[in-house]
């Protein structure tokens, strides 16, 4: 054997033995058994309206597909008039964005496809694919008359630097970040939150009155866990503005389970006492200054303070060693992201129709995902600094993760079937739980920095 071949073989053997416990594949019995053996408590915090390229765009960590590692990315100021030039992604965003970008379904349409009324048939056939070129155009349409265009470009295209979001930076470096995680609907908050906890928005495409009126009839994770004998609490910031997501569902009230919706302050005392339920679901407050969800015009630094407080409480809880904290966002908020949203199975046969700025109605068939959003797994059971790329459906197809991945995975943890085809075909992530618990997790996170 040639000496270089021998060296190559030795390197190969060394590489194999560096990973003595190669992760089992998604949806497999060993990975499901390992999840069930090690994770007893799940904490889910769903923040508001930020794209991956916006919030994590300045993270230099290897494997993240974002503006600082792969950009810059540019959008024209006007999709039909090239003479107006382009605005490109750049470092430094604002603690508070004052002109909330369009994130209605038609807003996402023009941002992704350059058209308020894209052809659904061509999209479904894969003949019309998103180009992610319309974010700046739509921001100009909404606010161009009253705002300097350079400022508008910075609001919608720019990203936060590592120094501006020290809490997130520390989490990315110490835990697991998904590179391809999308909102389930290219639209507003409440429909996306409903998919996350029930697998469908039940045909809703806007934040309409049904959510607040407990009118959603479908099965939710809250009902399912109650029926399976598992505990849950929906901790809710009393300042309001999101959810409480358990409150969307008729079942929660009809079955007298609304007493499981409690103030967010209880999360901290329950964590300290080791009394967290199996599922702790947290609703932040939204959406103005003084709220903590990161939704414009709430401060990014106030959102970081909430994430740090939740982390510190869990990290110092007696339950930490059996906990999995899922930090995610409901939707991308109309902020630029350069990764197109893929098609996805329809959850049901419902559609949603709304009027667009052209005067033409647009009917959305719920057949594709929304924008890419930041999602992290935080637990002593995940690999330090791991960046997860795409996942696998139960049929072995490589697919992007989405909020439906949460129900897919929790179904393995707590023994329930997927509620909808969207969930059934979602990538699960139980295989990302390691076999050995880590002891090198940070005991506290840095303080957020208010800026500008």
Q: Residues interacting with ligand NAG, by CB under 6 A?
A: 48-49, 78, 80-81, 100, 103, 137, 140-141, 144, 148, 150-151, 188-189, 207, 213-215, 242, 250, 254, 286-287, 295, 333, 348-349, 421
The DSSP string of 164-230 is T-HHHHHHHHHSEEESSEE-SSSS-HHHHHHHHHHS--TT--S--HHHHTT-B-S--HHHHHHHTT-
In the complex, what is the shortest distance from the CB of residue 290 to ligand NAG, in angstroms, rounded to a whole number? 15
Pairing between strand 41-47 and 279-283? parallel
In the complex, what is the shortest distance from the CB of residue 390 to ligand NAG, in angstroms, rounded to a whole number? 24
Of 379 and 393, nearer to ligand NAG (C-beta) is 393
Burial class, 257, CB count within 10 angstroms (exposed 0-12 / middle 13-18 / buried 19+): middle
Of 1 and 145, nearer to ligand NAG (C-beta) is 145
In the complex, what is the shortest distance from the CB of residue 331 to ligand NAG, in angstroms, rounded to a whole number? 6
Q: Please, what is the Cα angle at 393 between 57 and 193, to 5 degrees?
A: 55
The answer to whether the beta carbons of residues 79 and 402 sit under 8 Å apart is: no
Phi, psi (rounded to 5 degrees) for 309:
-60, -45
Of 175 and 352, nearer to ligand NAG (C-beta) is 352
As a whole number of angstroms, the distance between CA 55 and CA 57 comes to: 6
Of 194 and 433, nearer to ligand NAG (C-beta) is 194
- Residue whose C-alpha is closest to residue 359's, from 188, 116, 118: 116
Of 21 and 349, nearer to ligand NAG (C-beta) is 349
Query: What are the start-end ranges of the H helices in 24-134?
Result: 29-38, 52-55, 67-70, 105-113, 120-124
In the complex, what is the shortest distance from the CB of residue 135 to ligand NAG, in angstroms, rounded to a whole number? 12
Which residues contact residue 258 at a Cβ distance below 8 angstroms, ignoring those fewer than 6 apart? 246, 247, 252
Of 250 and 392, nearer to ligand NAG (C-beta) is 250
- Residue whose C-alpha is closest to residue 388's, from 173, 167, 180: 180
In the complex, what is the shortest distance from the CB of residue 251 to ligand NAG, in angstroms, rounded to a whole number? 8
In the complex, what is the shortest distance from the CB of residue 129 to ligand NAG, in angstroms, rounded to a whole number? 23
Of 357 and 442, nearer to ligand NAG (C-beta) is 357
Of 277 and 371, nearer to ligand NAG (C-beta) is 371
In the complex, what is the shortest distance from the CB of residue 250 to ligand NAG, in angstroms, rounded to a whole number? 4
Of 23 and 288, nearer to ligand NAG (C-beta) is 288
In the complex, what is the shortest distance from the CB of residue 374 to ligand NAG, in angstroms, rounded to a whole number? 15
In the complex, what is the shortest distance from the CB of residue 280 to ligand NAG, in angstroms, rounded to a whole number? 21
As a whole number of angstroms, the distance between CA 271 and CA 2 comes to: 60
Taking the alpha carbons at both ends of the chain, their separation in whole angstroms is 64
């Amino acid at each position: 054997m040639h000496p270089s071949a021998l060296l190559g073989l030795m390197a190969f053997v060394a590489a194999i033995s560096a990973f003595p416990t190669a992760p089992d594949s998604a949806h497999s019995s060993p990975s499901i058994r390992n999840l069930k053996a090690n994770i007893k408590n799940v904490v889910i915090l769903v923040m508001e309206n930020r794209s991956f390229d916006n919030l994590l765009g300045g993270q230099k960590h290897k494997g993240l597909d974002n503006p600082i590692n792969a950009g810059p990315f540019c959008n024209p100021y006007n999709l039909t008039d090239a003479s107006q030039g382009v605005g490109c992604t750049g470092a430094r965003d604002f603690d508070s964005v004052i002109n909330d970008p369009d994130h209605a379904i038609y807003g996402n349409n023009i941002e992704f496809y350059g058209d308020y009324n894209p052809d659904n048939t061509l999209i479904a056939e894969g003949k019309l694919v998103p180009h992610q070129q319309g974010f700046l155009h739509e921001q100009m349409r909404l606010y161009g008359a009253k705002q300097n265009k350079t400022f508008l470009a910075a609001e919608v295209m720019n990203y936060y630097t590592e120094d501006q979001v020290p809490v997130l930076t520390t989490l990315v470096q110490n835990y697991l970040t998904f590179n391809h995680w999308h909102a389930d609907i290219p639209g507003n908050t409440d429909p996306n939150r409903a998919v996350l906890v029930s697998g469908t928005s039940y045909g809703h495409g806007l934040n309409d009155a049904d959510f607040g009126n407990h009118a959603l009839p479908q099965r939710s994770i809250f009902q399912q866990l109650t029926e399976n004998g598992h505990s849950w609490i929906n901790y809710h910031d009393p300042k309001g503005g999101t959810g409480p997501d358990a409150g969307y569902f008729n079942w929660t009230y009809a079955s007298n389970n609304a007493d499981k919706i409690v103030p967010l302050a209880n999360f901290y005392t329950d964590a300290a006492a080791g009394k967290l339920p199996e599922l702790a679901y947290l609703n932040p407050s939204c959406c103005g200054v003084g709220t903590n969800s990161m939704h414009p015009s709430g401060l990014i630094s106030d959102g970081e303070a909430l994430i740090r407080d939740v982390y510190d409480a869990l990290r110092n809880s007696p339950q930490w060693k059996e906990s999995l904290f899922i930090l995610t966002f409901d939707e991308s908020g109309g902020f630029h992201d350069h990764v197109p949203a893929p098609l996805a199975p329809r959850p049901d046969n419902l559609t949603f129709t709304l009027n667009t700025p052209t005067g033409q109605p647009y009917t959305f068939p719920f057949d594709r995902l929304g924008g890419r959003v930041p999602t992290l797994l935080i637990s002593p059971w995940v690999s330090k600094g791991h960046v997860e790329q795409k996942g696998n459906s139960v049929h072995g197809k490589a697919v992007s993760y989405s909020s439906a991945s949460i129900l897919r995975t929790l179904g393995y943890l707590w023994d329930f079937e997927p509620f909808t085809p969207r969930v059934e075909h979602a990538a699960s992530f139980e295989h990302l739980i390691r076999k050995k618990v880590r002891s090198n997790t940070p005991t506290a996170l840095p303080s957020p920095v208010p800026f500008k």
